Structures are given as structure tokens and as C-alpha cells.
Amino acid sequence: MTEPFDTVDVIRTKRDGAVLSPEQIDWVVDAYTRGVVADEQMSALAMAIFLNGMSREEIARWTAAMIASGERMSFATLSRPTADKHSTGGVGDKITLPLAPLVAVFDVAVPQLSGRGLGHTGGTLDKLEAIPGWRAALSNEEMFAQLEDVGAVICAAGAGLAPADKKLYALRDITATVEAIPLIASSIMSKKIAEGTGSLVLDVKVGSGAFMKDLDRARELATTMVRLGTDAGVRTTALLTDMSTPLGRTAGNALEVRESVEVLAGGGPADVVDLTVALAQEMLAAAGKPDADPRAALADGRAMDVWRRMISAQGGDPDAPLPQAKHTEQVLAPSDGVLARLDAYDVGVAAWRLGAGRARKEDTVQAGAGVEMHAKPGDRVRAGEPLLTLHTDTPERFERAREALAGAIDIADTAPDLSDSVVLGRIEA
């Protein structure tokens, strides 16, 4: 077969800052998926996109080409509307766990196709796999049946959804092009649009522990994704949320499951509860239920009931003890004062080094590893009191985890000026 374009010409077009034609985009994504475009050539194109950007039309066409590389799902046969959420990733971000069953309380189906952690950011599937018996891999038939019966499912995305993205993401991860906004937006939105959800809420993280370190870049990414979703017929909104400090008081798989269950039991850290409720309100409004009261459903046990059914439906035992690390070590406050800063990125790296995360997608994770936080910014601390507890099965990891935390903590004489909300802004079409 004679190819209609030459790969080098496509690379040169974007390298020189010109706009790729719709036909060039369709071809290069398809040809890369087929193996006609080599990895080193797509690496060069990804770097050219990273450096020169893409127009709105180019991003939309690139996203459509990614979708066209695989199957498209539809939830039109379900008896209830669908709403989904996607987070751009952070440290201690366990929000999906209480959020999916909470939204399902109100007869809205939540098809939460999730992923695994890489580097300092945790993965939802890794967290849930800390629950004995729970399984991430479901067939489409099993997923649809669970959505109809329980109303919520959290599972791995099938290989048929946007296979071009899976191949390209792995390449971006090793070529320093992960942060390219056109490629982030098309990666996320190609999977979500192909998934077939009726509405989507994006949680775009901002701060040291996020891909987007500053608010302007995060707003640009959120706006791009909201436009892509809206143009594809998916009701899409985004919240910009703070990731300068870890969410909640735990970072690590079983530790975060435990904290999520506390939220579902009507307790838990205020920041986790507030963000869960804020995202639930967005999802419910998008699904046509703006008057629902998700905070009440956490308090009265309805969300916990759905959680237990959701975990059981996927083979998990919601009453089983969660794994605990074999070894712990405390990080003590060096002086009296107020905790002024606890850096999200540094805590995430420490949890990763303790065994909670992976450097390569093939790596295994320790279910019990991670970091437990006994104080958060604004809390008064005393010298010698524990600030953090480090958890791992392999105590030789403690030293490198401590190195990661060397610059993570600031203690001041007076309380820092802290925002009273984890939500920094909202983007809609």
C-alpha cells in the first residue's frame, strides 16, 4: 500500500510552526497505530507539538483521530443518565473512591474507567486492589450489568478504547513531552469521549504535586478539554483544584482506601469531603439533578451502602482487613511552631520510594506502603512530635524516602495565609 503522506514532511510542518491539515493528522495517528510511523518519528512530532503548540481545530482533529483508532461505547441502553469524572492526578487523590458511589445514590450511573499510578501520582486501580479479592478487569457485559444493578463501577479501560493513545502515552512518558497541553487534552478526552459518558467533570490539579504547576497553564488545559468535550456532544465542566499540599492525611494505596471509607462513614478529612461533594454536585447537575444533596448522602450512610455493593460486585470483601506495611518510621517536628508548608510533590515522591508507586508500568506496588500525615498546613506542632509516619515492607527504602522529604516541610512562628477552599476555579463551555 502506498502511503498518502511522508512522515518527515508531517514532522517538518509542525517543526516549522505551521498548521497540520486534517488529512495529515488523520493519517499520522492511524499510521503510528499501524506501525508505519516509527517511535523515533512520533517522538520528534510530539516534541514539535510540545514546542509549537496546536490550534483548537488541530487539537479537535487529533482527538477525533485518536478516538477513531478504536471502539466507541454507548450507555444509551441504561435506564439512568451517566456522569463521569477525570482527575489529572495528584498526591493523596483518593476522591474517585467515595465519589462514584456517592453520585450513584441519586440514580446516576458512574462508569469510572481508571488507571494505575506512575511516578509520584497514585493510581485508582492500585488503591482498590489493596482490597482483598477486588478485580479491576471487567468485560463490557459485566460493566453494563453492574451499572444497571449498582449504579457505579470503577474498572480498567478496555484495550479497545483509543489504542493510539495507549501507544503514544508510553512514548511521551520517556521523551519529556507528557506536559504538552494539546497531547494531555487529546489523551484524556479521546478516552472519555470514546467511553460514551453523557456528561463529564474534569478535576484539573494545580500546584507542586500536579502536572500543571501554575494556574494559567491549568486553566488553559481545562478550557481546551471542556471545548473538546462540548464539541463532541458531552456535557463537560472543569474544576481547578489545589495540589500544592497532599489531599487528606494519607498517600498510599491501602492507607487511602481506609481514609475513603472514613469519608463514606460520614467522617474523614475536611478537604477530601469538600472536594468529593463539590465534584458530586457538578456531576449531578450535569446529569440533570441539580437539587440533589450529596453531603447528606455521606452523612446518612447511603453512599456507604453503594460502596459496599460496588466492591462486592467486583469480587472484593468490604469487611476484610486492609494490608498493613511491615515497618513504620516517624518523621518528627524539628521545632515548635505552625506547619506552614507540606509539599505535595515531595510527599508523593516519598510514598513512591517507599513502594506505593512505580517507576515503570511493569513494576509492582506495595499495598501497605505510603505516607501518613499527622499535621497539615495551619496546624500547630511541637518539637519532637510526629509529623509523618512512613510505611513500607522494605525498611531499606526509608533512607531515600527521608531524602525526598528533606525540603518538604516549613515550620513558622505564625499561621500561613491559607485558602479556605481546595477549589480554585470553575470552567464551563
Q: Which residues of 157-179 are buried (b: 16+ CB within 10 A; e: fewer)?
A: bbeebbebbbbbbebbeebebbe
- Between helices 270-286 and 253-264, what is the axis angle to 10°? 70
End position of a domain, from candidates 257, 289, 319: 319
Judgement on whether residues 373 and 259 belong to the same structural domain of the protein: no
Contact criterion met (CB below 8 Å) for 271 and 422 = yes
Pick from 112-121, 180-189, 337-346: least confident: 112-121
End-to-end CA distance of the chain, in Å?
42
The CATH number of whichever domain residue 387 belongs to comes to 3.90.1170.30
Is residue 102 in a domain?
Answer: yes
Number of domains present in the structure of the chain: 2
pLDDT at 160 over 90: no
Between CA 109 and CA 100 the distance in angstroms is 9
- Known catalytic residues are 86, 165, 172, 187, 191
Give the per-residue pLDDT at 357: 87
Q: DSSP for 134-160, please give it.
A: ------HHHHHHHHHHTSEEEEEPPTT
Judgement on whether residues 259 and 373 belong to the same structural domain of the protein: no
Give the per-residue pLDDT at 191: 93
Judgement on whether residues 350 and 304 belong to the same structural domain of the protein: no
Is residue 423 in a domain?
Answer: no
Is residue 282 in a domain?
Answer: yes
End position of a domain, from candidates 301, 319, 337: 319
Residue 339 is placed in which grid cell?
Answer: 506547619
Judgement on whether residues 273 and 344 belong to the same structural domain of the protein: no
Name the residue range of residue 286's domain. Answer: 83-158+190-319
Contact criterion met (CB below 8 Å) for 104 and 152 = yes
Judgement on whether residues 97 and 121 belong to the same structural domain of the protein: yes
Residue 128 phi, psi (nearest 5): -70, -30
Q: Name the β-bridge partners of 85.
A: 201
Is residue 39 in a domain?
Answer: no
The single-letter DSSP state of residue 322 is P
Q: What is the pLDDT of residues 380-426, one digit of tens each?
A: 999 999 999 999 999 999 999 999 999 999 999 988 888 889 999 99
Give the per-residue pLDDT at 335: 96
Judgement on whether residues 259 and 288 belong to the same structural domain of the protein: yes
| Secondary structure (3-state) at 184 | helix
Whole-model pTM: value is 0.94
Is residue 222 in a domain?
Answer: yes
Judgement on whether residues 287 and 402 belong to the same structural domain of the protein: no
Q: What is the pLDDT of residues 85-133, one digit of tens each?
A: 999 989 999 999 999 999 999 999 999 998 887 677 878 999 999 999 9
pLDDT at 1 over 80: no
Between CA 313 and CA 143 the distance in angstroms is 10
CB atoms under 10 Å from CB of 53, counted, come to 14
pLDDT band of residue 371 (cuts 50, 70, 90) is: very high
Is residue 286 in a domain?
Answer: yes
Judgement on whether residues 303 and 223 belong to the same structural domain of the protein: yes
pLDDT at 369 over 80: yes
Judgement on whether residues 125 and 238 belong to the same structural domain of the protein: yes
End position of a domain, from candidates 264, 287, 319: 319
Angle at 10 between CA 6 and CA 15, to 5 degrees: 140
pLDDT at 207 over 80: yes
Judgement on whether residues 93 and 202 belong to the same structural domain of the protein: yes
Q: What is the pLDDT of residues 260-319, one digit of tens each?
A: 999 999 999 999 999 999 999 999 999 999 999 999 999 999 999 999 999 999 999 999
Q: Name the β-bridge partners of 409.
A: 342
Is residue 424 in a domain?
Answer: no
Between CA 236 and CA 231 the distance in angstroms is 10
Helix, strand, coil % over all residues of the chain, rounded to 5? 45, 15, 40
Judgement on whether residues 342 and 315 belong to the same structural domain of the protein: no
Is residue 95 in a domain?
Answer: yes
Judgement on whether residues 287 and 235 belong to the same structural domain of the protein: yes
The CATH number of whichever domain residue 257 belongs to comes to 3.40.1030.10
